Amino acid sequence: MNEFFPTVGLMINILLGIFISAFLAEMFFYLFFFSQTGKKKKKKKVSKNSLPPVSVIICARNEEENLRKYLPLVLEQEYPSFEVIVVNDCSDDDTHELLNNLLSEYSNLKVTAIKKDPRFTHNKKLALTIGIKAASNELLLLTDADCYPVSKYWIREMMINYSKKTDIILGYGGYETRPGLLNKLIRFEAVFTAMQYMGLAERRIPYMGVGRNLSYRKSLFFLNKGFASHLHLNSGDDDLFISEIATPSNTCVETHPDSFTRSVPASDVTSWFRQRKRHFTTGIYYKSTIKALLGGEYLLRSLFNISFILLLVLGSFYQLFLSVYLINAVVKGIIFKIILMRLKERYLFIFSLLIEPFQPILYVCIHMVNFIERKRSRWR
């Protein structure tokens, strides 16, 4: 019996070491990387005549209703010279008729179409490539058919960032606020993803953007041979592609409120889970440095919470680890609050604090489902 107590004491010391180390690492991530998201920058003054022409590209498959509601908000932007290219990607609904009607109303709209072929299947990357080839301008601005800019100055706020050294602009694409826990989860994920890719990009480690609000040069797309290296994957047009072309000096982050877009969120858990599974298929192809940083943060967060629970159970050093846990919660809470205000995300603060500790568990489950499905497909 006496031999048992030193073992428990050793276990407590190990757990305490893990707990403190994970806490310090988490504070580094939040204070050094994540806190940079949405920080204000000094805007350069640009005259209307000096704004560069731009091609906005939207891929649409059976998006008639979304195009009817949101496409005019893009076509009617306050910007001196821009075209909007809509790629009608094998739609079965009345997208074709709607776009034909809009062509007669808007001179800056261009439409190209991909016809169905039973012998040939493709993903969004083909539609994007066709849209980019049809673009008349060097600067491209990408969004989705179910997205809309929150202001009429969206294009302007994104384009004023370009200079001779700038090739890529990363924007923020959030989701509409709707009732329910699923909506809060979807919006939290959009915010946390932005904290990751924007925070790292601000520290000169760009690795992805979101296709809902993303800009880059047409020449850079073709110099990189487009999506050739990951054409076989359904996802990757906004993360793997940006990872290939982004450098510490050619990427800029834009978070002015007028530069945001909003998207229609998934309305049921099944649709949301399917989207997340598809997005997670690209993670294994990230660069080793990015996988280490992102995976390390999730691991450290898990270790921090697990060691905290175990220390509570074992019952020692209460004052120390409760104080550390409180500091962790306060620092994260302050950073979350600031970023939510910067990104104009309302009614999400309390939910963010509650869901953040469980996020790694959720992502592990999604990765496991993808892993099992890959194994099954290989076996077949």
Q: Is the predicted pLDDT of residue 114 greater than 90, yes or no?
A: yes
Give residue 44's pLDDT: 67
Average pLDDT in the chain: 91
Category of 347 on φ-ψ map: left (φ > 0), alpha (ψ -120 to 50) or beta: left
Task: Kindly tell me if the per-residue pLDDT of 77 is higher than 90.
Answer: yes
Res 5 pLDDT > 60: no
Residue with the larger pLDDT of the pair 366 and 132:
132
Q: CB under 8 Å to 294, separation ≥6 — which residues? A: 196, 283, 286
CATH topology for the 48-266 domain? Spore Coat Polysaccharide Biosynthesis Protein SpsA; Chain A (3.90.550)
Domain ranges of the chain: 48-266
Residues 6+ apart with CB under 8 A from 141: 54, 55, 56, 57, 155, 158, 159, 214, 215
pLDDT in tens, 313-345: 887 667 888 899 999 999 999 999 999 999 999
Task: State if pTM tops 0.85.
Answer: yes
Tokens of residue 89, six digits: 């990607």
Sign of CA dihedral 217, 211, 129, 140: negative
CB burial readout 260-287, b (16+ within 10 A) else e: bbbbbbbeeeeebeeebeebbbbbeebe
Question: Identity (one letter) of the amino acid at 341?
Answer: M
Q: What integer is the mean pLDDT of 203-218? A: 96
For 114, other C-beta atoms within 10 Å of its C-beta total 18
